[in-house]
Amino acid sequence: MFVGESLERVDALEKVIGKGIFAGDLRMEGMAFGVIVRAERFHARIASIDASEAIATEGVVRVLTHKDIPGANGYGVLKKDQPYLAAGYIRFFGEPVAMVIAQNERIAREAALRMRVDYEDMEPLNDPFLAAASTVNIHKGGNLLCRKTVIKGDTKRAEGQSHVVIERTYSTRRVDHVFLECEAGLAFPDQSGRITVISSTQNIHYKQKEVSRLLSLPEERIRIIQAPTGGGFGGKLDVTVEGYAALAAYLTGRPVMVRYTREESMLSNTKRHPLYMNYRTGAAKDGRLTFLEAKITGDTGAYASYGEVVALRAAVHATGPYQVPNVHVESSMYFTNNPVCGAMRGFGIPQTAFAHESQMDLLAEALCIDPLEIRKINALRKGSETATGQVLNHSVGFYDALKCIEPAWKERKKTGNSGFGLGCMFYGIGNTGVPNPSACHLTLMPEGKIGFHLGACDIGQGSDTVLTQILLETLGLEKNCVLLVKGDSDTTRDAGSSSASRQTYITGKAVFEAGRKLRSYLEEKGIDKGRSLKDICSEASGEGGPIFDGFFDPPTTSLDPVTGQGIPYATYAFAAHMTEVEVDPATCVCRVKKVHAAHDVGRAINPDAVRGQIFGGVAMGIGFALMEEFIPSRSKSLYSYYIPTSMDMPAVETYLVEDQEPTGPYGAKGVGEPALIPQGASIMNAIRDATGIRGFELPCNFERLCLLAEKV
């Protein structure tokens, strides 16, 4: 038995003994280094670029600008609007202008400082509301990236029938991913001119397509390999160093390494979207929600990246995990001259969870109902209909999650400066209302092993281990008979991105399908009748080596463009967190003491891995709620941008609910993002309980809390 066991991670040994070589540590004969020169302007035209001094530096190989790009100078997951190197126009502080390639990193960095760029400054649009009203457009099509709506029932009529209506506005700030390993990649041409990139990434096949466009080479001339990756959280979904390393290797004909310092990473990488959320929620006297209206305004920064996805996910999940018969949500994203905001763990929902969970507590207060009780009354359950009109027929373990934390909630004892709060969430697994398939394949290797060809990127979350467990369970074979061949666009199929908490569910199901095919082949060949795997493998190689492929695309429908109605996800994860905080009345500093976290994951393939995700989510949620705020041009490094340390980590009690998902592998769904989403919201409710003060703005650091306390 492999499923449900906390198997040791398949990469544990190489990580512990330092054998896994991260991209930034790769070396090759004749390798040069590339450094990106970035604009220190928010909004400007480039008047001139003078590279003469940089080029004259001994050891400098070449300086590149946008004119050197052979293919398309634009990337982006949905809209290819972000230039690799600015073509005369600067839209954010940190935008790449040129690239210096030199014999070693020191020379490259010093020469980069000698680049002279003159600008004609323009007034920056640094606020989404300003961008909405302004006649100055950052992009030709205007400052509105997208507007997504979810409309169901009649909110106006429902308002008339409500006993209580709560209206509040919530806002959150820009947050950096701060993955442990900064972006790094090595690109090199082979003798045939084919370009290989080895990088720290969450998606190899997508990057293969982007690099192919950049270099104007067919996709088969590009090979992307994933190096061991130290975290991503969505920040390694967009093209980062891959494009620059590939471009430089292609143009110079030699291996080129591009690796960012933490400062460069923070300057260039996408951020979590700041959202402004106006919520109006109504409830009947008995606590049942009657309607919800939400107007969400987001700042997507200078380029589109995943802004549209975040706007849509925020709209679809605006209600939280509750039944709301009448819904009207409008979610808009605007371009500004701020850092590009993109994918980050939760895709907009940690933000909306802050809003809907604060609203639930405010309603409970107004109606004199216990906060847990009002959530139980409204909880999505089997047969419930979501805001998009989707009827949930299976794997809806939210009520069970609430029941898990109920004893702790009932036994809570407020002492001195402590307070308790709840936070809940639901999260659609996989991409929203679009096909997002995964494929994988298995081969029989002559030496008697099964080749497990996996294109899914393990970025530290442990997908390699979990997917191996699914395969072993399906095959019913020993652990050591599988050889993982992974993260290489040459030898694996497209398993989509490691994002949207989708790898266990979607790729896991593809692995299950492939495993079943191989299992019946092995049975046919007599594996159960005493024939060895080695025997079957060597016979198979004589037959030309059969391939067993697996494929899964979760059943979804596209959403109605006006009403947002449809089936955006095949399944949802659910969670409830209860947090205890302590707020020092003198300093207004909040410390998180204890978290109870209940998650419906369908089936925990590897319970320890699930717990690991929950612990990480709690830590990230503490940063989101209490500390993290990325201020462009001021948040330059970890010296001024604070994330929690181990000393801020509370005790965490986990409860795993397993309401199995029939379409998932062995009933599994996902937990990567759900682990984070309810945490910030539960802290804010706990602060209210501890201090009597409710914060409407994140992060709720001591500055903000003190100012709120002064007002009271």
Partner 1 sequence: MLPRFRCLVPKNKKEALDMLKDEGNTRVLAGGTDLLVDIRKYTCCPETLIDITRIREFKRPFDRVSGILSPAATHAFASGSGEIKQDFPALALGCAQVGSPQIRNMATIGGNIANACPAADSVPPLLIYDTRLTIESQGEEREEALEGFLLSPYRSSLKRDELITAIKLKKLKGYRFGFKRLSIRAALSIGRLSVAWAVKERSGAYEDVKIAVGSCTPVAFRAREAEMFLKEKPVCGGAVKEAEEMITAGIREKTGERPTHAFKLPILRNILTEAL
Residues that bind partner 1 (CB under 8 A): 105-106, 109, 585-589, 591, 626-627, 639, 642, 644-648, 701-703, 706-707, 709-710
Q: What distance, in Å, lies between the first and last C-alpha atoms of the chain?
A: 58
Residue 156: Cβ-neighbour burial (10 angstroms; 0-12, 13-18, 19+)? exposed
Closest approach of Cβ 245 to partner 1, in Å?
A: 18
Closest approach of Cβ 384 to partner 1, in Å?
A: 40
Residue 483: Cβ-neighbour burial (10 angstroms; 0-12, 13-18, 19+)? middle
Q: Measured from the CB atom, is 463 or 635 closer to partner 1? A: 635
Report the half-sphere exposure of 703 (CA within 13 A, side-chain side): 6
Q: Measured from the CB atom, is 209 or 636 closer to partner 1? A: 636
Q: Measured from the CB atom, is 87 or 706 closer to partner 1? A: 706
Element (H, E) at 137: none
Closest approach of Cβ 648 to partner 1, in Å?
A: 5
C-alpha–C-alpha distance, residues 72 and 689, integer Å: 54
Q: β-strand 438-445 against 547-552: which pairing, if any?
A: antiparallel
Closest approach of Cβ 632 to partner 1, in Å?
A: 19
C-alpha–C-alpha distance, residues 709 and 712, integer Å: 5
Contact predicate 92/299, CB 8 Å:
no
Q: Measured from the CB atom, is 617 or 664 closer to partner 1? A: 617
The DSSP code for 711 is: H
Q: Measured from the CB atom, is 562 or 647 closer to partner 1? A: 647
Bridge partner list, 188:
196
Helix (H, G, I), strand (E, B) or coil at 117: strand
Closest approach of Cβ 644 to partner 1, in Å?
A: 6
C-alpha–C-alpha distance, residues 199 and 256, integer Å: 12
Q: Measured from the CB atom, is 480 or 646 closer to partner 1? A: 646
- Token pair in block for residue 354: 């802050």
Closest approach of Cβ 703 to partner 1, in Å?
A: 5
Closest approach of Cβ 625 to partner 1, in Å?
A: 12
The DSSP code for 345 is: T
Closest approach of Cβ 168 to partner 1, in Å?
A: 23
Please identify which residue in the block is written with the tokens 């004259």.
56
Q: Measured from the CB atom, is 176 or 400 closer to partner 1? A: 176
Q: Measured from the CB atom, is 362 or 627 closer to partner 1? A: 627
Backbone angles phi, psi at 414, to 5 degrees: -75, 125
Q: Which residues contact 403 (CB under 8 A, 6 or more apart)?
A: none
Q: Measured from the CB atom, is 588 or 618 closer to partner 1? A: 588
The DSSP code for 17 is: T
C-alpha–C-alpha distance, residues 60 and 104, integer Å: 9
Q: Measured from the CB atom, is 136 or 638 closer to partner 1? A: 638
Closest approach of Cβ 57 to partner 1, in Å?
A: 15
C-alpha–C-alpha distance, residues 123 and 128, integer Å: 14
Other C-beta atoms lying within 10 Å of the C-beta of residue 188: 23
Closest approach of Cβ 589 to partner 1, in Å?
A: 7
